[in-house]
Amino acid sequence: MPIGDAPDFLRKLDELVYVRKRVKSGATLYHTGSKFHALYAVKSGFIKTENLHDDGRVQVTGFYMPGDVFGFDGIATDEHICTSIALEDTEICVIPLDKVERFNHGIDEIQHHFYKLMSREIVRDHTVMMLIGSMNSEERLAAFILALSQRFLLRGYSPYYLTLRMKREEIGSYLGMKVETVSRIFTKFQDLALLEVQQKNIHILDMHGLKKMLGQHPSN
């Protein structure tokens, strides 16, 4: 998951951003095939991106929260591959890429920052490939919750109280498992006194225990 020096970044961003946008909950910002115009930074709210396979299948490829930048998938072919959808009312900063590319008159710090952002996205994707490819469902969900907790922490929120903005099905899609399985594992984690789950509110009771859920698995 994309992370990091959000406040810093948002400050610098002002120099690049002239347009802000509001996206209503459930609305689409761009979709597969849209011409690529710009990158987007989440100012407030929550965004998911998903890939549509030729047949009806959908795979959630990312969740983005304030400070995160997304839309990098559009650069390759100048057309977006993913669809991005707001999971709640969301404010977006529009960052035209050519403006970024032309920015380094003197300072190329910003340039480098964008390379870093893309690199992070790549690293995050590799992590997810690893999750889905070589962990069982419990480990995946544990890893997901821990990563989310970490992101909350980096943004200055409590890492123990998470409010999920996505529904179970979207978590499942992201992690390569079915809704029912997600639900069962939440219940199990609750039974193990690792979590307290109240709808979309997660209270992490035993962070250490949750971490131990990872790497328990005999496989691979």
Partner DNA sequence: CGGCATCTTGAGTTGGGTCAATGGTCGTGG
Partner DNA sequence: CCACGACCATTGACCCAACTCAAGATGCCG
Which stretches of the chain bind DNA, using CB under 7 A?
136-138, 167-169, 176-184, 186-187, 197, 199-200, 218-220
3-state secondary structure of 111: helix
Q: Which is nearer to a copy of itself, 15 or 109 (CB)?
A: 109
User: Where in the chain does DSSP place strands (E)?
Assistant: 19-23, 28-30, 38-44, 47-52, 58-64, 69-70, 83-86, 90-96, 161-163, 195-198, 201-204
Binding to a copy of itself in span 75-94, by CB under 8 A: 75-77, 81-82
139 contacts: CB under 8 Å, gap ≥ 6: 131, 213, 214, 215, 216, 217
Q: Tell me how many helices (H) and strands (E) the chain has.
A: 7, 11
Q: Which does 97 bind (CB under 5 to 8 A by kind): a copy of itself, DNA, none?
A: a copy of itself
**One symbol per residue from 45 to 64: x for binding a copy of itself (CB under 8 A), - otherwise; what is it?**
------x-xxx-xxx-x---
Q: Is 174 in the site for a copy of itself (CB under 8 A)?
A: yes
Dihedral (Cα; 41, 91, 199, 158), 10-degree rounding: 60
Element (H, E) at 130: helix 109-134
Q: Which is nearer to DNA, 106 or 220 (CB)?
A: 220
Q: How far is the CB of 218 from a copy of itself (least distance, A)?
A: 10
* Contacting residues toward a copy of itself, per CB under 8 A: 51, 53-55, 57-59, 61, 72-77, 81-82, 97, 101-102, 104, 108, 111-112, 114-116, 118-123, 125-130, 132-135, 173-176, 214-215, 217, 219-220
